[in-house]
Amino acid sequence: MGDADTIIIGAGPAGLFCAIHAASAGAKVIMLEKNPEPGSKLLLAGTGQCNLTHDGDIRDFVTHYGDHGKFVKPALLSFPNKTLMEFFQKRGLAMMTEGNGKVFPATRKSADVLGVLLAECAKEGVKINSSEPVTGIECDGDSFMVTTVSASYRAGSVVITTGGASYPQCGTTGDGYRLAQSLGQPVTEIAPALTPLLIRPFPFASLAGISFESMHFTVWRGGRKVADHTGDVLFTHLGLSGPGILDASRGILPGDIVRLSFAGPMRREEFAAELAKRAAENPGWQIGTILAKYPIPERLNRKLLSLAGISDDLTCAHFSLEKRSALITNCTEFPLVVTALGEFKIAMATRGGVALEGVNPKTMESKLVPGLFFAGEVLDIDGDTGGYNLQAAFSTGYLAAQGIRKRLGS
Identify which has the larger pLDDT, 377 or 290: 377
d(CA 66, CA 380) in angstroms, rounded, equals 11
Task: Please tell me the predicted confidence (pLDDT) of residue 328.
Answer: 94
329-341: average pLDDT: 96
Residue 143 banded pLDDT, cuts 50, 70, 90:
very high
Strands (E), 297-378: 334-337, 340-341, 349-351, 372-374
Torsion of CA 281, 284, 288, 290, to 10 degrees: -20
Overall average pLDDT of the 193-199 stretch: 94
Lowest average pLDDT, out of 93-102, 163-172, 307-316, 326-335, goes to: 163-172
pLDDT of 156: 95
Q: How far does the chain reach from its first CA to its final CA, in angstroms?
A: 16
State residue 291's pLDDT score: 86
Confidence of residue 11 (pLDDT cuts 50, 70, 90): very high
Mean of the per-residue pLDDT values for the chain? Answer: 93
What's the CA gap between 239 and 401, in Å, rounded?
42
> Above 70 in pLDDT, residue 1?
no
Tell me the average pLDDT across 253-265.
93
Residue 129 CB contacts under 8 Å (≥ 6 apart), including other chains: 30, 31, 32, 33, 148
- How many CA atoms does the CB half-sphere of 199 hold within 13 Å? 22
Which residues, 6+ apart, have CB-to-CB distance to 96 below 8 Å? 103, 104, 105, 106
pLDDT average, residue stretch 291-297: 85
In whole angstroms, what is the distance from residue 35 CA to residue 128 CA? Answer: 11
Model confidence pLDDT, tens digit, residues 76-108: 999 999 999 999 999 999 999 998 999 999 999
Per-residue pLDDT, 410: 63
Instruction: Give the pLDDT band (50/70/90) at residue 392.
Output: very high
pLDDT in tens, 29-67: 999 999 999 998 888 877 789 999 999 999 999 999 988
- Assign domain 4-192+348-408 to its CATH architecture: 3-Layer(bba) Sandwich (3.50)
- pLDDT, residue 109, reads 95
For residues 94 and 273, give the distance between their C-alpha atoms in angstroms, rounded to a whole number.
Answer: 53
Instruction: Give domain 194-259's CATH superfamily.
Output: Translation factors (2.40.30.10)
Of the chain, the percentage scoring pLDDT greater than 90 comes to: 79
Query: Which option is the CATH number for 268-334: 1.10.8, 1.20.140, 1.20.1070, 1.20.120?
Result: 1.10.8
**Omega of the bond leading into 297 within 30 degrees of 0 (cis):** no
What pLDDT digit, counting tens, does each position of 198-242 carry? 999 999 999 999 999 999 999 999 999 999 999 999 999 999 999
* Dihedral in degrees, nearest 10, Cα atoms 384, 20, 138, 168: 40
Q: Residue 245: what pLDDT?
A: 96
Q: Where are the domains of the chain?
A: 4-192+348-408, 194-259, 268-334
Tell me how far the alpha carbon of residue 154 is from its chain's centroid: 34
CB 213 within 8 A of CB 219: no
Three-class secondary structure of residue 18 per DSSP: helix
What is the distance between the alpha carbons of residues 340 and 227, in angstroms, rounded to a whole number?
18
Separation between Cα atoms, residue 257 and residue 241, nearest integer Å:
15
Whether the CB-CB separation of 199 and 342 falls below 8 Å is answered with no
Assign 266 a pLDDT band (cuts: 50, 70, 90): confident
